[in-house]
Amino acid sequence: MLGEGIVKGLAETARNFFGSYVSKDRLTTVQFPEERLPQAEAARNFPFLVYDGDDWQEGLRCVACQICEKECPPKCIFIEKSNDKKPDYLGKPQFYPAVFNIDVSVCMSCQICVEVCPFDAIEMDTAFELSTDNRFDGLLWRKAQLAKSNEYFHIIHPVASAEVDERLTAAKVKAEAKAKTAADAKPATPTPPHAEIEAATTK
């Protein structure tokens, strides 16, 4: 019948109108910036450096191995190794980056630096409200700006950070167990060396 489609269309828009006051899926607007949609687990924008604990300089996981600098396709990472060493989470003394710069205007968010890092020191951040008023200096991020805590990593990537933490704690436990068995394998009182040589030479 002529006009049937029009009436059906009018009914549908009327449902939209009245439904938009009662149900959320008839009013899908998310009023940015007061409301935000949660981002996916795998969302990524630019890299950041992870640090454990409270002190960002002490707990920085990066050991300045420069693998990410070499693998980065547009070469946006610039690292200068330090001259001294500091202990890492396993207690081993490691180098640390004296200078760690990422040029964000060059970075293409490919995540290769994250994939190749052997120490889980660099991960992808999801923050996107990054506008600055300086085109050159404002888009060159230095170590202090890049360092963010492990707790922050947990908030933005819960699954990935849990996996990383599990691996690192497993490695730490294994290292501690190894150190403990090494300590147990040593005798309670140290044998004098000449007794050992005597024992060996009399054989």
Q: Provide the binding-site residues for other proteins, judged by CB under 8 A.
A: 1-3, 6, 9-10, 12-14, 16-17, 20-21, 26-29, 31
Shortest distance in whole angstroms from residue 155 CB to other proteins:
29
Cα 203 to Cα 200: distance, rounded to the nearest angstrom: 5
Cα 187 to Cα 181: distance, rounded to the nearest angstrom: 12
Instruction: Give how far Cα 13 sits from Cα of 20, 34, 84, 93, Å.
Output: 10, 28, 70, 68
- Give the nearer residue to other proteins in terms of CB position, either 25 or 55: 25
- Give the nearer residue to other proteins in terms of CB position, either 3 or 190: 3
Residue 120 in contact with residue 164, Cβ under 8 Å?
A: yes
User: How many C-beta atoms surround the C-beta of residue 59 within 10 A?
Assistant: 17
- Give the nearer residue to other proteins in terms of CB position, either 10 or 99: 10
Shortest distance in whole angstroms from residue 43 CB to other proteins:
24
Shortest distance in whole angstroms from residue 89 CB to other proteins:
49
- Give the nearer residue to other proteins in terms of CB position, either 20 or 149: 20
